[in-house]
Amino acid sequence: MTAIDLAIELGSALTSNKVRTGLTVLGIVIGIGSVIAMVSIGQGGAKSIESSIQGLGSNLLTVSPGALSNARGGVSTGRGMAPLSIDDASAIAGIAGVAAVSPELNRRFQMTSSLGNNTNSNVIGVESGYLTARSLAIDAGTFITSQHNAAFSRVAVLGPTTVKDLFGDADPIGKTIRINRMDFRVIGTTVAKGSSGFFNPDDTAFVPLETMQRILVGADVVSTIAVSVADKTQMADVKAQVTELLASRHRVDPAAPDFSIFSQEDVLGTLNQVTNTFTMFLGSVAGISLVVGGIGIMNMMLMTITERTREIGLRRAIGAKQWQISLQFLAESVALTLLGGILGILLGWLLSLLVTTFAGINTSVTASSVVLGVGMSSSIGIIFGFYPARRAGKLHPIDALRYE
Amino acid sequence: MIDCQSIRKIYASQAGPTEALKGITFSIGTGEFVAIMGQSGSGKSTLMHILGCLDVATSGTYTLDGQDVTEMNENELAQIRSTRIGFVFQAFYLLPRATVLRNVMLPLMYAGVPRQQREPRARAALEKAALPEKFYNYSPNQISGGMMQRVAIARALANDPVMILADEPTGNLDSKTGQMVLETFQSLHRQHGRTIVLITHESDVAAYAARIVRLKDGEIIEDRKTI
Ligand SMILES: Nc1ncnc2c1ncn2[C@@H]1O[C@H](COP(=O)(O)OP(=O)(O)OP(=O)(O)O)[C@@H](O)[C@H]1O
Ligand SMILES: [Mg+2]
């Protein structure tokens, strides 16, 4: 019995009851299709988050007030701890290997333009180092300078989304906007950077940090200090030095600080954790439908074997060995699931294409998910086909021949 | 060529054990045409299953073509069936999904005959079984019972077995087609020197054979040559 013999036997067995074969295969198609679609949605989401985070600058350390509860690398910042200050930022600037330091204070405010449009956006108090630290560029006009900070100037630089919200297509430079009912003069705009999923850097207005603290917030604090490290290889070293320095300034134990420092890597790692869990969750929900499909295969195989009992008896009588009978039925179930798997990959790919087109969620059907689909479908065939095939092989020739 | 010594077969059933064969001792030589006769329940089919290596005796020894078959396992028995025995059943048992030609090639596949040799051998067997060539690519559903039984005979012949075992081969046929099938067996015996064991309960069917073995309640009560 060669592989060709097996293929010919398969062909005639599977085409003899096309409707039943089709319906059974459909179960697998749906199972594999949803696994592929779910995994591709999960992976696509992970990929787009990852690329937007990398766009924020890969050698950036972010210092925030509050301790990091470091249980399993989770990110959760406690509130109500000792705040960070501009002096903390200036001290960090003195550390070797630090390229730029940007203390920032972040709050949402209602803004109104001279045209009467209004928007509720993020207002960030910054110093001149912001552009370097956050790798942002000016589109038109100028950015906040140290003179603006020294003089508590009421000037603002707008992100492209804010410009659009407040001024439409008109040129905003030189115009006046009201932030929290106080007048600010627009001196520049920044280039578009694109959303990173949960924070849109384009939907912001930048004002001098001193102005923000004194006039808008009324507190001498900063919410974040962004530290840009000159050389990526020095990240860990600089992070340690910043920890040491801030701990001594705040008079706390460096092992239990009242602030936390993330690098982009930390954030990426955590997000990967989240998206992996998410992908696995989606995948296992889809996997359940695959198991249901597998049970369908098993059911069909048991039915087929009952129907073909006399055929099995005859084959055994004319010399088929037990393993040859088992192999034939196992090949049938694997062929069914493999066919279902291939069609399922196409369906899953189509589904993720639809999701991308109509829901705007990035998806990616990778080679590994195709391998996963083929591997899973053939394993389902082997696992759920094994018992029926074994049973077919074990039939006694005489009993099988006599079966009515 | 076939030698049975005190073959006993006991079936265990819910109603208690049934002794279907109670010590059968006989032998069949190469090229013989033997009819095994007896009433229903006399143990004919049971004997055929043992002779055909489809089942094993509870006790006694059975030697086929110099090989002791008594102690063989399932796969060794399958190997013996594949190469040395050809079966013809009352109900034909042809695969409806395959053509006549492919049905005849089936035993060759299990015997491991290379693909390109199968078709010529199947054609030769069909010729010996006197099946007209126009039926070769028909489906078994499209031909008459007599033709189906000839296909089954050709299938039994395909592997050049040392013995053909036929259990009531004319049981599903009318007397005229039955006669034609029996003539086919007779010519296989006379012209090709085949060893044939035919099971029947009809004496006019048995008349085609050269020797008649009569069973009653699992024992041989008569063994005679007709010619
Ligand atoms: N699988 C089995 N289990 C239990 N008893 C069996 C089994 N097969 C046969 N028998 C019993 O063995 C005895 C012989 O049966 P066997 O089938 O050999 O008879 P037979 O001569 O072929 O009859 P028939 O002419 O009706 O085919 C019978 O009493 C039958 O009931
Ligand atoms: Mg019988």
Q: What is the pLDDT of residue A368?
A: 86
Contacts of A316 in chain B (CB under 8 A): 78, 81
CATH code where residue B106 lies? 3.40.50.300
Rounded distance between C-alpha atoms, residue A91 and residue A114, angstroms: 40
The answer to whether position B25 is within a domain reads no
Between the alpha carbon of residue A197 and those of residues A49, A157, A266, A329, the distances in Å are 6, 22, 17, 50
Count of CB atoms situated within 10 Å of the CB of A107: 14
Nearest to A318 among B55, B75, B107 (CB): B107
Q: What is the pLDDT of residue A209?
A: 93
Helices (H), ranges, A134-187: 146-150, 160-167
Q: Which residues contact B125 (CB under 8 A, 6 or more apart)?
A: B104, B154, B155, B157, B158
Q: Hey, whose CA ends up nearest to atom 2 of ligand 1? A: B11
Q: What is the pLDDT of residue A230?
A: 85
- Whether B107 lines ligand 1, by a CB cut-off of 6 Å, is no
Helix H or strand E encompassing B34:
strand B33-38
The answer to whether position B161 is within a domain reads yes
Strand partners of residue B11: B18
Tokens of A10: 């398969």
Q: Hey, whose CA ends up nearest to atom 4 of ligand 1? A: B11
Contacts of B98 in chain A (CB under 8 A): 12
Are B135 and B108 a contacting pair, CB within 8 Å? no
The answer to whether position B212 is within a domain reads yes
Q: What is the pLDDT of residue B57?
A: 93
- Residue B212: pLDDT band (50, 70, 90) is very high
The answer to whether position B190 is within a domain reads yes
- Residue B221: pLDDT band (50, 70, 90) is very high
Q: What is the pLDDT of residue B2?
A: 92
- Whether B138 lines ligand 1, by a CB cut-off of 6 Å, is no
What is the DSSP code string of A37-49?
Answer: HHHHHHHHHHHHH
What is the extent of the structural domain holding B132? 30-55+83-225
Which residue ranges of chain A lie beneath pLDDT 70? 52-58, 67-81, 194-199
Tokens of B71: 């102690």
> Residues B10-56: pLDDT tens digits?
999 888 899 999 999 999 999 999 999 999 999 999 999 999 999 99
Q: Supply the pTM of this predicted model.
A: 0.74
Tally of domains within chain B = 1
In this structure, what DSSP letter does residue A214 have? I
Burial class (CB in 10 A: 0-12, 13-18, 19+), B96: exposed
The answer to whether position B162 is within a domain reads yes
- Whether B218 lines ligand 1, by a CB cut-off of 6 Å, is no
> Residues B97-145: pLDDT tens digits?
999 999 999 999 999 999 999 999 999 999 999 999 999 999 999 999 9
> Residues A378-393: pLDDT tens digits?
999 999 999 999 999 9
Q: Hey, whose CA ends up nearest to atom 31 of ligand 1? A: B41
Please list all protein residues whose beta carbon sits less than 5 angstroms from ligand 2, which is an ion: B 45
Rounded distance between C-alpha atoms, residue A125 and residue A107, angstroms: 9
Q: Hey, whose CA ends up nearest to atom 11 of ligand 1? A: B20
Residue of A253, A277, A11, A225 lying closest to A106 (CA atoms):
A225
Q: What is the pLDDT of residue A76?
A: 45
Tokens of B148: 């189906």
Q: What is the pLDDT of residue A263?
A: 82
- Distance (Å) from CA A18 to ligand 1 centroid: 39
- Whether B20 lines ligand 1, by a CB cut-off of 6 Å, is yes
Q: Which among A1, A12, A318, A322 is the top mutation candidate for probing chain B, defined by the most B β-carbons within 10 Å of its own β-carbon?
A: A318
The answer to whether position B75 is within a domain reads no
The answer to whether position B41 is within a domain reads yes
Average of per-residue pLDDT values in chain A: 86
Query: Nearest CA to CA, how far is A377 from chain B (Å)?
Result: 27
Portion 305-334 of A in contact with B at CB < 8 A:
310-311, 313-324
Q: What is the pLDDT of residue A201?
A: 75
Q: What are phi and psi of A174, to 5 degrees?
A: 90, -15
- Whether B13 lines ligand 1, by a CB cut-off of 6 Å, is yes
Q: What is the pLDDT of residue A234?
A: 85
> Residues A327-383: pLDDT tens digits?
999 999 999 999 999 999 999 999 989 988 887 777 888 888 889 888 989 999 999
> Residues A54-93: pLDDT tens digits?
666 668 888 988 865 544 444 444 444 578 888 898 899 8
Q: What is the pLDDT of residue A55?
A: 64
